[in-house]
């Protein structure tokens, strides 16, 4: 269930430069937040920027910048402020009370997208767990971040007995969701054991969100995974089988996209899904070679892999979207990542070279000539 019951569809973005962000990441931050906002079906009307040397404990930003945000939001008729940083529950409440406008921080925005995109029971459980953890410390506000909790702007929040009752309900629900996800994890473990007995080679397709992972899965296996040019277009992992050279049986597993500063609770909630990455034989790290921030995105993915204890897995770097590159860009990325495989998943270019590389990494016998690449459609393993 999305965090916002009624879409807050007109946003003013608040892009803040903090001491731990370089000029490059600051520029990227605006582009990323705008794309995230649009992926949440919220229209971006404008943005303001600011430098934060030391966050204000009460509002994160100074009151002068808050006044600028208030006036700009009024001018644009924006009904939500979206910050590119994470706010404490108290900071979000204080800003809402002062400006009388809805506030979302970066984590809340990502959870909103996940809530809209999750389709399977497992995906919905994982998102619900992250949402509940995010919601719990925010119950004391006026109810504008989570519209299902309270009345309109300026209304009084629930009393302390009701708040404590709500907290208990959420804690109990968190426990129940965790128990259900433990069953999911046990089920996945049994499936993985079955794959090993059948000597399947498992290849997890990972990468920054919107790098083209699902498109590559479709191209390699003939699957029909949902594809859309938006961040976090798919959340539910899909597994499809293919054979290389008619002998090596490979299972390709699509995974949720990574992103810079992926919320910790989201990583923890998607433990069962990310376990597929940890337990795979090989990782296909898909990188959007046409993106000017590709190098930074690669570093983000590698950082997340460290966080989930998968940094030492055998990895094949796949430079995707070759069809969008000019010759100069091809030469540049070729010199930067000489061991990578250049493909266009959309145009199905470079797939045989990629399959050959996978075959080599698998330790299988090299083919004499072209790969005998076959696929089985709709074969979920």
- pLDDT score, position 159: 58
Residue spans of beta strands (DSSP E) within 217-270: 239-244, 248-254
Specify the residue for token string 């949720």: 256
- pLDDT score, position 133: 92
Provide the 10 A C-beta neighbour count for residue 283: 27
Write out the two tokens for 362.
């698998």
- pLDDT score, position 215: 92
214 in a known ligand binding site: yes
Pairing of strands 201-207, 102-104: unpaired
Task: Give me the helix-helix angle, 121-135 and 106-117, nearest 10°.
Answer: 150
166 in a known ligand binding site: no
251 in a known ligand binding site: no
216 in a known ligand binding site: no
204 in a known ligand binding site: no
The DSSP code for 87 is P
Q: What is the DSSP string of 201-231?
A: EEEEEEEBTTSSHHHHHHHHH-------SST
Pairing of strands 10-18, 80-83: parallel
212 in a known ligand binding site: yes
Cα–Cα distance for residue pair 266/338, rounded to 1 Å: 34
239 in a known ligand binding site: no
Cα–Cα distance for residue pair 140/137, rounded to 1 Å: 7
Does CATH number 3.30.70.920 belong to domain 10-118?
no
66 in a known ligand binding site: no
| Domain 198-375, CATH homologous superfamily name and number | P-loop containing nucleotide triphosphate hydrolases (3.40.50.300)
150 in a known ligand binding site: no
234 in a known ligand binding site: yes
Give the domain ranges of the chain. 10-118, 198-375
345 in a known ligand binding site: yes
254 in a known ligand binding site: yes
257 in a known ligand binding site: yes
Q: Are 306 and 226 in contact (CB under 8 A)?
A: no
List per-residue pLDDT tens for the chain, 381 residues long: 454 544 458 999 999 988 766 555 667 788 889 999 999 999 999 999 998 888 999 999 998 999 999 999 999 999 999 999 999 999 999 999 999 999 999 999 999 988 888 888 888 898 899 999 999 988 765 444 444 333 333 334 455 678 888 889 999 999 999 999 889 888 888 887 887 777 788 999 999 988 999 899 989 888 665 555 556 655 666 788 777 766 668 889 888 888 887 777 778 777 777 888 988 999 999 999 999 989 989 999 999 899 889 999 999 999 999 999 999 999 999 999 999 999 999 999 999 999 989 888 876 434 434 444 444 333 443
75-86: burial string, b at 16+ Cβ within 10 Å, e else? eeebbbbbbbbe
Identical fold at 10-118 and 198-375?
Answer: yes
pTM metric for this prediction: 0.80
236 in a known ligand binding site: yes
232 in a known ligand binding site: yes
């Amino acid at each position: 269930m999305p965090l916002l019951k009624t879409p807050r569809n007109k946003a003013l973005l608040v892009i803040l430069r903090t001491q731990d962000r370089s000029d490059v990441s600051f520029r990227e931050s605006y582009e990323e937040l705008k794309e995230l906002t649009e992926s949440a079906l919220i229209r971006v009307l404008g943005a303001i920027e600011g430098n934060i040397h030391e966050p204000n404990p009460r509002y994160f930003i100074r009151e002068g910048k808050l006044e600028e945000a208030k006036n700009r939001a009024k001018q644009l008729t924006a009904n939500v402020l979206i910050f590119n940083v994470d706010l404490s529950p108290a900071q979000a409440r204080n800003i809402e009370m002062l400006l009388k406008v809805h506030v979302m921080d970066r984590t809340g925005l990502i959870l909103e997208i996940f809530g809209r995109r999750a389709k399977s029971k497992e995906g919905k459980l994982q998102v619900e767990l992250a949402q509940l953890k995010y919601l719990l410390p925010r119950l004391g506000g006026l109810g504008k971040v989570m519209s299902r909790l309270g009345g309109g702007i300026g209304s009084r929040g629930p009393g302390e007995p009701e708040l404590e009752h709500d907290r208990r309900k959420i804690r109990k629900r968190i426990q129940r969701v965790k128990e259900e996800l433990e069953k999911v994890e046990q089920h996945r473990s049994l499936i993985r054991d079955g794959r090993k007995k059948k000597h399947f080679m498992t290849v997890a397709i990972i990468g920054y969100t919107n790098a083209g992972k699902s498109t590559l899965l479709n191209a390699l296996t003939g699957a029909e995974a949902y594809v859309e040019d938006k961040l976090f277009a798919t959340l539910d992992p899909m597994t499809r089988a293919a054979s290389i050279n008619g002998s090596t049986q490979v299972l390709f597993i699509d995974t949720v996209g990574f992103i810079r500063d992926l919320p910790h609770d989201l990583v923890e909630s998607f433990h069962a899904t990310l376990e597929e990455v940890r337990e795979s034989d090989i990782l296909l790290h898909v990188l959007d070679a046409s993106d000017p921030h590709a190098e930074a995105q690669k570093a983000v993915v590698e950082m997340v892999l460290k966080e989930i204890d998968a940094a030492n897995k055998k990895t094949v770097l796949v430079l995707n979207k070759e069809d969008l590159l000019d010759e100069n860009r091809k030469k540049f990325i070729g010199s930067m990542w000489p061991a990578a495989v250049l493909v266009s998943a959309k145009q199905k270019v470079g797939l045989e070279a990629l399959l050959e590389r996978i075959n080599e990494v698998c330790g299988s016998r090299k083919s004499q000539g072209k790969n005998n690449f076959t696929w089985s459609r709709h074969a979920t393993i």
